[in-house]
Structures are given as C-alpha cells and as structure tokens.
Amino acid sequence: MVAAIKAQGGQAQADVHSVSDWDQAHAMVQTALDTYGRIDIVVNNAGILRDTIFHRMSQVEFDSVLDVNLRGVFYVSRAAAPHFKAQGSGSYVHLTSSSGLIGNFGQVNYCAAKLGVVALSKAIAMDMQRFHVRSNAVAPWAWTRMIDSIPAETEAEKKRVEGLKKLVPEKIAPFITALASDQAADISGQVFGVRNNEIYLFSQPRPIRTAHTADGWTPETVIERVFPMLRNDFYPLHRSGDIFTWDPV
C-alpha cells in the first residue's frame, strides 16, 4: 500500500503496531508525529470478524472482536487526543457497521462493538467540541479481506457473496476524505453510510412514543396499557440485508 501511494506521488509510512494494545496504539500515533511532525486526522478502520452464533460463542471470540473493533478505536483516538487538543483542531472518522446499526445473525461480538463505536464517536464529539475537534462514524459496505471468510456454500450464500464483491472500498475513500477535510469542519457527531455510489445519513435513537400516568405504574398496568399502546411501533428483528434489499448503484 505504501508503494502504491508513493507511486502516485503521495507520502505514506507503514506501521505494524496493534490497535488493540494501549501502548502500541500510542506508538502508532507517535510514528505519525515522528514522520510528519503533527497529526490532523484519525481514521479508525481496523476490524476483525469472529462470527459464531450466540449460544456457541466463546469468551475469546467475543473479547478479541471487542479488543480490535471497540477498544482499539478508543486507544488510538485517546492517543491522538492530547495533540488534537493542543493544536485546537482534528478530525476522527470511526468505521461502524450496519451490523451494529441494524443487526446481523451470528455477530453478537461484532454488533456490540460496532454499535459501541457509534456511542463512542458521539461522546468524543461532545467532549472535544470545545477544542474544535470533531468525530463522526461511517458504516461502509465493501468487499475486503475482513469479510472474505463469509461462507459461500449454498446458492443463496453464493448469490450474497457475489453481490458483496461488487461493493468496492475505492467507493468509500472519497467520502471519508471529504468528511475529514477542513470543508467539513462543522460536521460532528453524525452517523453516515457509504454503499458504492450511495451515501446515507443515519437516524439516531430518539423517543417515538410515550406512555404517561399521573398515578404511577404497576407491572399489571404496564402489561394492560403500555405494551398494547407501544406494540405497533416495536421494531422487528431485521438484519442489515432486510433493510438494504436493493442492488448497490
């Protein structure tokens, strides 16, 4: 990758530290400082999958995904924070996933981590706003090494994988570049999605219905009055593919 960037006239420096370790994450940021003299943008895109149905998932499978996909985001972001604060500027872009935003089968670890990234991003945006530092989350759709382990044995699985292979990471980069630029200095705390030529702004949780009583609630009155009132607005157990049913454009 470094060679490819340099061949096109850019500058690049490889770093092999792990995001899942506090000290190594700080060393990674230090590499950027040693190479370029400052740091302006952090893109947290490191990720792994350890897909297993919930009742069979091991502690190692859960912890390893949280270590890279959530703790790693905190560690690298935290390592850059003092430098962003001191210079009064900086942009975080954290990669989340529709698996966390909507849900997916066999990904308890990944879903938990990726939805955690959204909350982490929002909290960073609020804490660092006073220093003119912004933080946003982006859900990308792209065929990469991380997801090439998806099984493709049945005809339905093969069809799904062939569709995923049409989603290329080159389509993600322009949006992240724009989001990290000075021209997006007023954008913070948002959740976006990029799927080939489609760009989404995702909603964030807000109350949609309210049940109120002046007398307070008992378990019986909740069952009798609240559940029937709210049930029509309950969300079904959709997976990401149930929502994004059309072919990417």
Instruction: Confirm whether 235 is a catalytic residue.
Output: no
Q: Map residue 188 onto helix, strand or coil.
A: coil
Q: For residue 91, give the nearest of 33, 131, 37 by alpha carbon.
A: 131
106: left (phi over 0), alpha (psi -120 to 50) or beta: left
Q: Could you give the CA distance from residue 30 to residue 160 in angstroms, rounded to a whole number?
A: 41
Integer angstrom CA distances of residue 39 from 35, 90, 170, 220, 235: 10, 8, 23, 57, 42
Q: Could you give the CA distance from residue 212 to residue 205 in angstroms, rounded to a whole number?
A: 20
Q: Could you give the CA distance from residue 35 to residue 11 in angstroms, rounded to a whole number?
A: 10
Q: What angle do CA 132, 134, 138 make, to 5 degrees?
A: 170
- Say if residues 47 and 71 touch (Cβ distance below 8 Å): no
**Parallel, antiparallel, or unpaired: how do β-strands 191-195 and 90-95 relate?**
unpaired
Catalytic, out of 36, 75, 110, 235: 110
Active site residues: 110
